[in-house]
Amino acid sequence: MFWFSWYSLSLFTPIVFTTPSSVSLLSLGIIDDGDDESFLASVLVENSSLGFSRNIFISLTCRFVSNISSSSIVFPLSICVYNLLIRFKISLWGGVLVALDIRGFRFSLDGISIRRCGIEDIGGVIGVNRRTLPENYSTSLFLAMLRRFRDIFFVAVDISQDSIIGYCMNKLEYNTKSFFAAKKVTKGHVFSIGVLHEYRRRGIASALMVVSLKHMFMLGASEIFLEVRVSNTPAQNLYNKFGFEVVMRVPRYYADGEDAYVMAVPRERIESLIDELYLRLRELGVLEE
Ligand code: COA
């Protein structure tokens, strides 16, 4: 009967772990060795806000009653180890395997939140734009984009400072020629994206892209495109990770005469990737919706 309780609790643990809690109960059981009852618990501590590349595992095995025979503890202990392995495998799945499977995405978003841009954020967005890009649009363009495409305009916020540290401004273009088929489609356009220098390489632009693409798909986009300077390797690397490919080169696209690549990706190529990353970001508590 008591072994059964171990088994049944073991079965429950994956459900417990899928919640973004900071402490999860790994397993819990009571052993009856004939003389005494012992209580064994294995606890896993996970700091979800650090992101799945930095999960912390602490396994505590507590024996509250000590005088039980070594043989009676072997089985529950092996269940604990087994559960740890399951959890580790889930973490591998969430961290390492997913990273491999979905092209190496890593998020380190402690203290960062992603939410829709509000009118009060426009000053912060313009500040980030001025510091990150030579394409400095007018305030009225930002306001017009906010008015027209509020549902797909996102900001990244440093929670401790309550300041905007990144943004992704998007638009939808209806009934335009597809890059991938001979038909007219709705396209999502990543119009402008930037992350302050001191916050880079933490997955913030990736997270902004995930949220933006997810919502553009929800609004009917069947492909996504953007323009990028031919010299902008960091941004091209970012887009390559999302499966974008160069579909066109536009000579002298930028005001200073530099050419642009137009990069695009069809929805079917990345939708499952976006869904998976979006779910993970939501579990990590990064998304404020
Ligand atoms: N060099 C090479 N690759 C880079 C890079 C760099 N400096 N910065 C980002 N990347 C690529 C990498 O493949 C990276 O994955 P990795 O860290 O696992 O190697 C991937 O992009 C995702 O990086 P992420 O941390 O999500 O991006 P970020 O938050 O650092 O922001 C930009 C990336 C491009 C938005 C940021 O560098 C920026 O604001 N640049 C100036 C504005 C700009 O160029 N906007 C795009 C205009 S089209």
Complete domains list, the chain, with CATH:
2-101 (no CATH), 112-288 (3.40.630.30)
* pLDDT tens digits, one per residue of 208-236: 999 999 999 999 999 999 999 999 999 99
Q: Is the pLDDT of residue 107 over 50?
A: yes
Q: Which atom of ligand 1 is nearest to the CA of 204?
A: 29
With contact defined as beta carbons under 8 Å apart, do 287 and 281 qualify? yes
Q: 262, 250 in Cβ contact below 8 A?
A: yes
205 in ligand 1 pocket by Cβ < 6 Å? Answer: yes
**Using an 8 Å Cβ cutoff, are 43 and 26 in contact?**
yes
Quote the pLDDT of residue 96.
Answer: 34
Nearest to 192 by CA among 251, 151, 133: 133
Separation CA 51–CA 109 (nearest Å):
6
| Percent of the chain at pLDDT exceeding 90 | 60
Determine whether the shortest distance from the Cβ of 34 to ligand 1 is under 6 A.
no
Mean pLDDT across 267-286: 92
228 lines ligand 1 (CB under 6 A): yes
Judged against a pLDDT cut of 90, whether residue 197 lies above it is answered with yes
Mean pLDDT value of segment 241-249: 97
CA distance 183 to 253: 25
Measured from the Cα of 194, ligand 1's closest atom is 39
First and final C-alpha spacing in the chain: 45
Neighbouring-strand partners of residue 262: 227, 248
Predicted local distance difference test score (pLDDT) of residue 145: 98
Q: Give the range with max mean pLDDT: 68-82, 85-99, 241-255.
A: 241-255
Q: What is the model's pLDDT at position 63?
A: 42
Closest to 116 in 3D by CA, of 162, 158, 164, 151: 151
Q: What is the mean pLDDT of residues 273-282?
A: 92
Check if 201 has its Cβ closer than 6 Å to any atom of ligand 1: yes
Q: Is 240 in the pocket of ligand 1 (CB under 6 A)?
A: no
Asked if residues 106 and 140 have their Cβ atoms less than 8 Å apart, the reply is no
Give the mean pLDDT of 14-22. Answer: 39
Instruction: Say which residues have a Cβ less than 8 Å from residue 174's Cβ, sequence separation at least 6.
Output: 186
The model carries a pTM of 0.73
- Of 165, 161, 160, the closest CA to residue 117 belongs to 165
Is 32 in contact with 184 (CB distance < 8 Å)? no
The 10s digit of each residue's pLDDT in 62-90 is 344 444 455 555 555 655 555 555 444 34
With a 6 Å cutoff on the Cβ, whether 206 touches ligand 1 is yes
Report which protein residue has its CA nearest ligand 1's atom 33: 205
Q: Is residue 203 lining ligand 1, measured as CB closer than 6 Å?
A: yes
Query: Which is it for strands 245-250 and 260-266: parallel, antiparallel or unpaired?
Result: antiparallel
Q: What is the pLDDT of residue 74?
A: 59
Find tokens 């503890």 and name the residue.
Answer: 73
Q: Which residue has the tokens 């038909």?
A: 183
pLDDT > 50? residue 268: yes
Instruction: Specify the pLDDT at position 289.
Output: 72
Please give the pLDDT value at position 78: 57
